[in-house]
Structure 1
Amino acid sequence: MFHPNTDADPGQLSRFSWRSEPWKGYSHAVLGKGEIGGAWAEMKNSDERTVSYAENMDLPKFTYADWWSATHITTPSDRPFRSDVAHYYQDYVHAVGIADAFHPHTEVTHVITMEEALAAGWCACGDVKDGKQCEMCAKFGYVVCGYVTQGGKAARVPFSMRAKAVVLATGIFERPKWLGGVVGEDADFVSHELKDIVSYNPACDDVTNSRQDSLVPSTANWTYPTPPASPRLSLSAASDPYLIVGSGLSAADAIIHLRAQGVPVLHIFHHPTSRNPHYSTSPLAACSRSVYPEYAALYRRMKRYATGMSRAKEDDSGYEGLVNARVVELKRAKDGRKMVTMQDEEGRVFSQAVGGVGILIGRKIDMGFLKGQAQEQILASREETNEEENNDVRMAELVHNSTISPSSRRLSLDFTISSPLRKVDPYSFRAVRPVKQRKEPRLYAIGALTGDTFVRFVLGGGLGVLWDLERWLGKSRKSRTRVVAE
């Protein structure tokens, strides 16, 4: 209802209207160790476009189109730059008046139940006796601890707070994956982050020239792109090729950016072949030529190498695919050149000088901040997940089963999540343990943790949690932000 039939017939008006009723709200705090916007905040200087269309980036009450018309005089494109979306989300919290609830640069290191905290001698009131709750602490379910970064890592100020309930909205992209077992993978010329490879778009520096200042609300604290702190890659067409490892969208973004700068690229990717039929096809295979021409063009190049078509290398000057190859070693030669030793699909070992290496093979979840009972509430046991005894990092991986409907001009990605979570109620999004030993405080999981990997699905999780809080606290069953179906 928020965006009716958006895949097949975009542009239809929302069936929702929104009215803020802050006097009915709950006291809450949103903690994040980065800037407002989460993973999007890291794309403030990206010159890549989003996979989704602009209307699917909308949040309630103040849409992306509203933001664009207030800050630009040009017509927005169907697929916006990721840097624009990042700034939209940062400005959004000010435009709708919720900025006070956000606490960026706040790293959570511990989430523990109040019961365990009191047993360990912790009490916010200083009135704990023999592990019994004081009158004030008895109202809360959890203790949340961590650090607030002020002016750099050297100034980390510890904090602790009590919470009646905790909502996990951390996403699944916490830490980049490594190949593992590769000598030199920690070398200074190796990156596991797309943001280290994709430099900012210089055109964004002058974005204020296209603003309509008279349309910007005076009460909003608007933000605009600034140049990144790190220098741009000092690579050119004359450089040694840049090696990219990966078959997904991040690897594709890096390759597209490097080729646009004229930098030659070596690309290691997986593709099903007669020798390795078990490998999955890249999700780029689902990209329509008309909707996602840049991804479709790259996939055609990859497929030519995978199928052994003649003259592939000559046809793709500046790009060379290494199908199902693997990295053996990364090191600097005596003359300072960056060297990569690889093994191809047939077992031949060879070395190549490179300008740099980008290993973009996905990301994994890190929920090590959940301790004790809080961890047991929502994370599956080692036996349930077949984890090693000493592995305390739970991982969730996206398996792409990508399809595109012939009747749709949009890309439809069917994400199946292999989750480390125990059962999460599909209506309240509350963690549900198979067998409860005692009445437990409320712990929720929303967003990518439950398979809702796109912004367009974010409303469902938030409304589900709010519905459960309404039932629990015995207040009105009406939403704190009233949603009226037209």
Structure 2
Amino acid sequence: MSNWRKDHLGTSASEPLPVLIIGNGPSGICLSYLLSGYTPYVRLDAVHPHPLLQRKLAEAPGVSILDQDLDYLSEGLEGRSQSPVALLFDALLRPDTDFGGNMESVLTWKHQKERAIPHMVLGRNLPGGAWHSIEGSMVTLSQGQWMGLPDLQVKEWMCRKRRGLRNSRATAGDIAHYYRDYVTKKGLGHNFVSGAVVTAVEWGTPVSGGSGAPAPSPLFQVSGVLTTEDQSQQPFSLCARNVVLATGTSDSPARLGIPGEALPFVHYELSALEAATRAGTVTPASDPVLIVGAGLSAADAVLYARHYNIPVIHAFRRSVDDPGLVFNQLPKMLYPEYHKVHQMMREQSILSPSPYEGYRSLPEHQLLLLKEDRQAVFRDAQGLQKVFGVALVLVLIGSHPDLSFLPGAGANLAVDPDLPLSAKRNPIDVDPFTYQSTQQEGLFSAGRTKMTMGSCPWRNSSSFSQMASSMRRNWRISFTPSTLTTPTTWTPRSCVITLWSTWGIMRTSWPPWRP
């Protein structure tokens, strides 16, 4: 650990950090890259396939994208995002991804130290975050090339490591190694502290700068526990002018809120089914496993159970024809296993016998309660109740960010403070351009902590750039501007992180079901 980090971790009296990032997954890494002074430019030899965008890019050759009018550049672009600037950075980073192509990015990245902003990234795991907690042989839902961060393609990295992408999809172990290696190769390691668990974030009232100067943003006091190399635990306290929440959403599984949910046979992770299978608690001859949910995690559980011939009851509240089901958004050629689950959901319902022995689909069913004798009570779309005996219950309906370290667990930061905080239904309310909280100056939210869907790491750059721009204004850190300046009334925009190509960065599966 560098002396600079030791100074800040060891005492709360240190000079406040300009930026503190909580979470060292892909979002935290990408933001650190931007804050370290890496700046995107259009390659001089690049020709963009979109003629209007190419004409606009040619108007300011050699000028950083961050120093141009992003609103102007994004005019006329179309795609699957609601943010025009998100569409712009999609077009620059992966020009034809939405059409299934693999055209090289038109961007090049330059390291400009004068743009760098001092910062620290805290994380429980090694750089890469939750990727290090996933079984290494599982493969990503997203194509490997979509998992990359700026200026280091996953495919290029895999070739250097003498590895190959499996049907364009990498393993979780490879991606975890890639993220860790990325931090080293880009010289970001001195900004990262692993083994750090944040337990409290508090903030106060801004202190006047005197002499009529505007008051800076309020100071944040960040406390936690650091696990050292000898496994001892050391408390720390940090002071920061800006805090970024980049913690992801996998910390706290979503719950049904029904009677009996606390019973010992109810679980929220697929690992519980794996353990029960190994222990012989569930077998082909046992009562079925109840899987609740219609997403990819639930589909993975169905695939796992089917692989071991374990009977399954699969219950979900939506219709199988609901266009919002994630299966309708996945290309069949790339994900035949998930479309097989969707086919089973459609054909093997309680009212329509089909060839899938040991699998029963309960579309448009709501689980009402679970009894101690392992009886599950449902209500169907017509209001009728049904009861099934089960051996195990897996509730796989999503997850929420664990923001227990914030005052009130962050509830007052949500779009609707009266409802539970949810990345999907009630996220943190932020400015759409800067990602700064509308309720608390200096507090930012990135990645899945904020967004309604998962993020593809290479699509984060513009939003993080705008974060950096906003932070620079907050603490009045100067840097050398580009030779071509923009009007003082113009503010660069940010990219919306949610895009169609991935759902939660990845979903996992097992080699037996992969093509």
TM range, smaller chain: 0.5 to 0.7
Q: Distance in 2 between matches of 1:375 and 1:189?
A: 30
Deviation per residue, 1:279-323 (Å, 9 max, x gap): 8853223333223211111111111245943x22xx112322123
The one-letter code sitting in structure 1 at the alignment partner of 2:235 is: P
2:220 aligns with 142
The one-letter code sitting in structure 2 at the alignment partner of 1:11 is: N
Cα gap change, 1:468 to 1:341, in 2 (>3 Å) = closer
Deviation per residue, 1:350-379 (Å, 9 max, x gap): 34142x22110111234332339x969x81
Picking from 327, 338, 351, the partner of 1:284 is 327
1:473 aligns with 477
Q: Distance in 2 between matches of 1:109 and 1:188?
A: 28
Picking from 464, 467, 472, the partner of 2:466 is 464
Deviation per residue, 1:125-160 (Å, 9 max, x gap): xxxxxxx9xxxxx997221111223589x9543210
Asked whether the equivalents of residues 428 and 445 of structure 2 are also in contact (C-alpha less than 8 Å), the reply is no
1:317 aligns with 357
Cα gap change, 1:467 to 1:269, in 2 (>3 Å) = same
2:447 aligns with 447
The one-letter code sitting in structure 2 at the alignment partner of 1:419 is: P
Picking from 380, 384, 394, the partner of 1:347 is 384
Structure 2 residue ranges without an equivalent (≥5): 1-91, 211-215, 484-515
TM-superposed CA distance for 1:5, in Å, is 1.4
Q: Distance in 1 between matches of 2:279 and 2:185?
A: 35
Q: Distance in 1 between matches of 2:126 and 2:277?
A: 20
2:185 aligns with 95
Q: Counterparts of 1:258-273 in structure 2 under 5 Å?
A: 258-272=305-319
For 2:141, what is the secondary structure of its paired residue? coil
Give the aligned length. 379
Question: TM (normalized to structure 1)?
Answer: 0.68
Structure 1 residue ranges without an equivalent (≥5): 119-131, 133-137, 200-229, 334-338, 399-417, 434-439, 480-486
Cα gap change, 1:56 to 1:39, in 2 (>3 Å) = same
Asked whether the equivalents of residues 44 and 83 of structure 1 are also in contact (C-alpha less than 8 Å), the reply is yes
1:163 aligns with 240
The one-letter code sitting in structure 2 at the alignment partner of 1:108 is: V
Cα gap change, 1:37 to 1:340, in 2 (>3 Å) = farther
The one-letter code sitting in structure 1 at the alignment partner of 2:470 is: D
Picking from 382, 387, 397, the partner of 2:418 is 387
Q: Counterparts of 1:108-257 in structure 2 under 5 Å?
A: 108-115=198-205, 141-150=219-228, 155-183=232-260, 185-197=261-273, 234=280, 235-257=282-304
TM-superposed CA distance for 1:238, in Å, is 4.1
Question: Is the counterpart of residue 357 in structure 1 residue 393 in structure 2?
Answer: yes
Question: Is the counterpart of residue 419 in structure 1 residue 495 in structure 2?
Answer: no
- Identical-pair percentage: 27
The one-letter code sitting in structure 2 at the alignment partner of 1:463 is: S
Cα gap change, 1:257 to 1:11, in 2 (>3 Å) = same
Cα gap change, 1:160 to 1:231, in 2 (>3 Å) = farther
TM-superposed CA distance for 1:57, in Å, is 0.7
Question: TM (normalized to structure 2)?
Answer: 0.64
The one-letter code sitting in structure 1 at the alignment partner of 2:245 is: L
Question: Is the counterpart of residue 397 in structure 1 residue 424 in structure 2?
Answer: yes
Asked whether the equivalents of residues 107 and 147 of structure 1 are also in contact (C-alpha less than 8 Å), the reply is yes
The one-letter code sitting in structure 1 at the alignment partner of 2:290 is: L
Cα gap change, 1:73 to 1:80, in 2 (>3 Å) = closer
Cα gap change, 1:245 to 1:9, in 2 (>3 Å) = closer
Asked whether the equivalents of residues 242 and 265 of structure 1 are also in contact (C-alpha less than 8 Å), the reply is yes
Asked whether the equivalents of residues 169 and 445 of structure 1 are also in contact (C-alpha less than 8 Å), the reply is yes
TM-superposed CA distance for 1:35, in Å, is 4.1
TM-superposed CA distance for 1:198, in Å, is 5.8
Picking from 431, 440, 444, the partner of 2:437 is 431
Cα gap change, 1:195 to 1:59, in 2 (>3 Å) = farther
Cα gap change, 1:271 to 1:442, in 2 (>3 Å) = closer
2:503 aligns with none
Pairwise CA RMSD: 3.6
Asked whether the equivalents of residues 452 and 458 of structure 1 are also in contact (C-alpha less than 8 Å), the reply is no
For 1:19, what is the secondary structure of its paired residue? strand
Cα gap change, 1:196 to 1:350, in 2 (>3 Å) = closer
Asked whether the equivalents of residues 198 and 254 of structure 1 are also in contact (C-alpha less than 8 Å), the reply is no
Deviation per residue, 1:138-196 (Å, 9 max, x gap): 997221111223589x954321011121112223443111111221x233332212454
